Amino acid sequence: MSTKLPRLLAGLVDDAAVFPPGSASLPEAVPAHRQHRSSWYAELVGPLLVPASTVLNRELHALVDPGEELVVGLIGDTGPADLPAALAAVPPGVTIQQVEVAVAARGVDPQPGLATLFPVAEQLAGRTVYAEIPLTLGLMGALDRLVEARAAGLPVAAKFRTGGLAAELFPTSAELAAVIHGCQQRGLPFKLTAGLHHAVRHLDRETGFTHHGFANVLAAALVAAGGAEVERVTELLRATDPRPLLAPIEQRLDAARPLWVGYGSCSILEPLTDLIQLGLVNGGTDA
C-alpha cells in the first residue's frame, strides 16, 4: 500500500486532540489517534500530545494495552519540576517521544524559566525538550541560551505559539519571520502550536482573527533554511494566495524537512484535507 505522503511532510502534524479548541476527552482521543496511525496518511501524524497531569493521575493506564506502542508527546502543564515524575509514571505500552513545556508567560523574561528547565532536561533520558518561549521580552536572548545548552549536550529546542483564544497570541508575520530567521541563524530546530488550522493564511470569520497558514510556515522555513533574508520569509508568511507557497514546497517534497519540526493541531483531518486540495498529497491508497 502507498501512503502517498511525500517525505517533506512526514510527522508534520502532532495530534493535539485533547487541547482547545477541540478539547476531546482522553478516552476519545486515544482510539482516534490509533485510527490515524493505522491509516494511509499515518506518516503525516506525529505523537499524541497529552498533559503531564493526565499521566501523573494515571488516566492513560486504562486506555493503553501494555503490548502496544503508543507514541506520546508530554506537555508540561504542571511545570518543569513534575516532568521527571510524569515520565516515571508512564504506563507500559506508552513511549514518550518528546517533552514540551512553557518557560514563561507572555511579557515575562524567559531566562529564569530556562534556568529552571535545563537541570530537569538532564533527567529526561535524552528526550528532546521543547521550551515554549513567548514572542515578547528577551526572545533572542532565550534562543541564544538554548543554543548554548545544545552545545553542552542538552537535547533542547524551541517552541512558539502562533495563535490561541486571544488576539495578542497571534504573532504578526514580521514577528514570526524574525523568529524563523533567528532559529535558522542559530541552527535551532523549532516547533509551533495553536492557530495553524489551515494551509494558507486566512481570516477566521467566527473569531475575527487572522490565522497563519501551515503551508506559509513550511514555505517560509524552507527558504529560510536556504539562506533567504527575513524580508523574503515575511513575504511568504503574509501570502494569502497558495501559488507562491507551492513553488518552494514542491521543489523539496522528496527531502527531509529542515528547521521546522512540526506543529500541534487539534484536528488531523483538516490539514490533511488542505494538503490534498493543494495537490501536495494524493488522497487514498494504492493496492
The string of pLDDT tens digits covering residues 15-33 is 999 999 899 999 999 999 9
The string of pLDDT tens digits covering residues 130-145 is 999 999 889 999 999 9
Contact 17, 33 (CB under 8 A): yes
Q: The domain containing residue 241 runs over which residues?
A: 7-277
Instruction: Name the pLDDT band for 1 (thresholds 50, 70, 90).
Output: very low
What is the domain count for the chain? 1
Instruction: Name the pLDDT band for 263 (thresholds 50, 70, 90).
Output: very high
More confident residue, 106 or 192: 192
Query: Which range (39-43, 101-105, 135-139) has the least confidence?
Result: 135-139
Residue 209: the pLDDT is 93
Residue 108 has pLDDT above 60, yes or no: yes
Contact 189, 157 (CB under 8 A): yes
Query: Is position 44 within any domain?
Result: yes
Residue 3 has pLDDT above 60, yes or no: no
**CA-to-CA dists, residue 180 to 8, 27, 139, 151, 171, angstroms:** 18, 36, 12, 20, 12
Q: Which three cell numbers stand for residue 285?
A: 491508497
Query: Is position 2 within any domain?
Result: no
Instruction: Name the pLDDT band for 284 (thresholds 50, 70, 90).
Output: low
Query: Is position 282 within any domain?
Result: no
Query: Is position 1 within any domain?
Result: no
The string of pLDDT tens digits covering residues 209-233 is 999 999 999 999 999 999 999 999 9
Average pLDDT over residues 245-266: 97
Query: Is position 285 within any domain?
Result: no
More confident residue, 158 or 22: 158
Mean confidence (pLDDT) of the chain? 94
| Dist. CA 137–CA 223, nearest whole Å | 26
Residue 285: the pLDDT is 52
Query: Is position 287 within any domain?
Result: no
Query: Is position 121 within any domain?
Result: yes
CATH at residue 206: 3.20.20
